[in-house]
Structure 1
């Protein structure tokens, strides 16, 4: 039996086994949602996230690289998609996929900035199941980094109680790497969790795998480590602060208190000063995959994108 089919089998057998498996998962640490709360927000969630459009958000970016602050832009694209549990790719024919079809929220995080003469373009894609009770872990996350020296690609795929990690790099020190990392909450899934879980994140100490981008920029090997999540509330927003206990890294994410729990801003700090600061410029909902003509470039102006 293939590893992916084994995952599907393990997720489909008796509820008793599922409960035993969940003891080792971060599902227990996710805030509980009462059944009647789920019912009361189903129409609101469906009307927004299954409208045939994606949520497009543009952010002003300040990004430190090589000891200097660079100005740039970030686009966060949130959209729901049918996803193959066995292949871990978007389904072409979801109606024919049966139980292999797992609806997910996809986040494409596109970050662009310039260092001197050359550009950085970074894309992180994260695929988090909408039904967190049945599928408590993000199924897949990957990051590609392109710049004039070369490019790297890293990916995490859920396989039973591990994430299968692969990295492919232009640089000799990295080369091609492959290993398993025990399942934990991904830093790269924090924003999808916020959007899916009514603006909430688990609080207190938790096992977390830091972001693939931080791993690359700080030359840290990907692994599960301890982090602490805390929350502060303002009149219209919530701010979550994530502090790694064994690494000098802190992340703050500010989100709307009310549906659809839009991400307002975030910062990342590695202990040597600000490394990332992003603040929302504009948010629109569009079926961007159909907007390919020259006339559709007006939507980029609406998003206040500079180029």
Structure 2
């Protein structure tokens, strides 16, 4: 019995490590030198968009912001490593997206944030996703963590029906990781009939169940310099179109999202959320936290006060 227990203890690190991706598990995506020259400069890429967001059966004007940065991520803890040089075997190079949306519905504001952490390699799974939605009624928070091939979901909500819960999402592509996969290697995007977890903003706004659905995916050129990735969910009556530059670094230039939207007093009707590119800046924004740095927001067309 002692020998069995000892063997189990000796094998435990191997068992844990086999489910944990490392930087050597998969080859890099795309042109490594090209990628490094753009993303490994110590700068973030920040883009702003004119947003028209469907909510409560109406179209509401606002601003969307995309912040992309290349970071060293902990495979074991699934957090950004403070000192990646101290844990070289645990580092996974990832592309991180923070996508924010700010808009008003009548007199009160909505503030949304999506964070997705996708390996720079040909790993088939993003490691983590986080979504938060704040408005005057309350706050909702959802988090997905990769566990082998599945995702563990935890969600917290002010609203009773959405309450605090935990569940497992079976092996699936994440719609929200498509934003990163476009930037990494659009030629590797999934096409055809696919099983995919719809975007968490959409799930929150429709009070839907976070379960994968089937969608039809395609990519096409819509102009000399711009390509489009399109997802069609027949059962959800929903379409997502993401436009991006066809050449590296594959910058996002806009998107459209159509689905039935309404409130409790009216029948849902098909409305289309749109985002159109405004401005872009490459800057180490985390160093620009003094009052005098507010002027830099002008470069992105953001309000200074």
Q: State the TM bucket, normalised to the shorter chain.
A: 0.7 to 0.9
8 Å CA contact 2:230, 2:242 repeated in 1: yes
Corresponding residue number in structure 2 for 1:138: 126
Please list every run of 5 or more consecutive structure 1 residues that lacks an aligned counterpart in the other structure.
19-26, 28-32
Please report the TM-score for the alignment, with normalisation by the length of structure 2: 0.87
Deviation at 1:273, TM superposition (A): 2.6
Corresponding residue number in structure 1 for 2:119: 129
Structure 1 consecutive aligned stretches of length 4 or more whose deviation exceeds 2 Å:
3-13, 271-275
Match of 2:259 among 266, 270, 290: 270
Deviation at 1:102, TM superposition (A): 0.4
Q: Cα deviations across residues 238-296 of structure 1 (Å, max 9, x unaligned)? A: 01110113211100000001111000000111143334100110011000011111221
8 Å CA contact 2:21, 2:75 repeated in 1: no
Indicate yes or no: 2:50 matched with 1:64: no
Which structure would you say has the larger Rg?
Answer: 2
Taking a change above 3 Å as real, the CA distance of residues 7 and 198 of structure 1, as seen in their structure-2 partners, is: farther
Deviation at 1:96, TM superposition (A): 1.1
Deviation at 1:10, TM superposition (A): 2.9
Indicate yes or no: 2:288 matched with 1:304: no
Q: Distance in 1 between matches of 2:13 and 2:48?
A: 36
Deviation at 1:68, TM superposition (A): 1.1
8 Å CA contact 1:105, 1:129 repeated in 2: yes
Length, aligned pairs only: 284
Corresponding residue number in structure 1 for 2:204: 216
8 Å CA contact 2:20, 2:76 repeated in 1: no
Q: Cα deviations across residues 223-252 of structure 1 (Å, max 9, x unaligned)? A: 112111112212100011101132111000
Corresponding residue number in structure 1 for 2:278: 281
Q: Distance in 2 between matches of 1:7 and 1:281?
A: 45
The two structures, once aligned, show a CA RMSD in angstroms of: 2.3
Taking a change above 3 Å as real, the CA distance of residues 146 and 12 of structure 1, as seen in their structure-2 partners, is: closer
Q: Distance in 2 between matches of 1:101 and 1:284?
A: 27
Q: Distance in 1 between matches of 2:144 and 2:68?
A: 19
Please report the TM-score for the alignment, with normalisation by the length of structure 1: 0.87
Taking a change above 3 Å as real, the CA distance of residues 200 and 162 of structure 1, as seen in their structure-2 partners, is: closer
Corresponding residue number in structure 1 for 2:87: 97
Please list every run of 5 or more consecutive structure 2 residues that lacks an aligned counterpart in the other structure.
1-8, 261-268
Q: Distance in 2 between matches of 1:53 and 1:253?
A: 24
Q: Distance in 2 between matches of 1:113 and 1:159?
A: 34
